[in-house]
């Protein structure tokens, strides 16, 4: 399979809730995550993904997100080569925030992207 064939999804096509059936994997760095992230997202920084792949539930629909879509595309390609079926979130957290979806901090307060 061609690496570039990772499916893409627009923000409006994403589920509104993550956890039971779907995982939103945020691969941004710790400082980006701490400023603000999607509620219920799972955080594994891009560089940690190879060592922490066992934490990613392969049974659930997997969406990968970063700041604008570039890092998540690379992580999605890597995960695809390793047996996952990821979908890259086009536009990343910038598009998420611009669409009006919630951005929170770990404390639950409003966050920023």
The pLDDT assigned to 23 comes to: 97
Give the mean pLDDT of 2-22.
88
Residues carrying an active site annotation:
66
At a CB cut-off of 8 Å and minimum separation 6, what does 2 contact? none
What's the pLDDT score for residue 50? Answer: 98
CATH number of the domain bearing residue 46: 3.40.250.10
- Kindly state whether residue 108 falls inside one of the protein's structural domains: no
Whether 71 is covered by a domain: the verdict is: yes
Residue 97 has pLDDT above 90, yes or no: yes
Please state whether the predicted TM-score (pTM) of the whole model is above 0.75: yes
Three-state DSSP at 106 gives coil
Percent of the chain with pLDDT over 70: 96
Please answer whether residues 46 and 66 qualify as being in contact, where contact means their C-beta atoms are separated by less than 8 angstroms.
yes
Q: What is the pLDDT of residue 5?
A: 87
Q: Which long-range contacts (CB under 8 A, 24 or more apart) does 95-100 make?
A: 95/10, 95/11, 95/69, 96/11, 96/38, 96/65, 97/36, 99/11, 99/12
**In this model, does residue 89 exceed pLDDT 90?**
yes
pLDDT over 60 (residue 4): no
Structural domains in the chain (count): 1
């Amino acid at each position: 399979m061609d690496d570039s064939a990772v499916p893409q999804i627009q923000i409006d096509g994403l589920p509104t809730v993550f956890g039971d059936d779907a995982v939103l994997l945020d691969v941004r760095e710790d400082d980006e995550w701490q400023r603000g992230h999607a509620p219920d997202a799972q955080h594994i920084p891009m560089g940690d993904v190879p060592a922490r792949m066992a934490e990613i539930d392969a049974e659930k629909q997997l969406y990968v997100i970063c700041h604008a879509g570039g890092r998540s595309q690379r992580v999605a390609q890597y995960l695809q080569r390793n047996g996952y079926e990821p979908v890259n979130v086009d536009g990343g957290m910038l598009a998420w925030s611009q669409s009006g979806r919630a951005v929170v901090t770990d404390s639950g307060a409003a966050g920023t992207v």
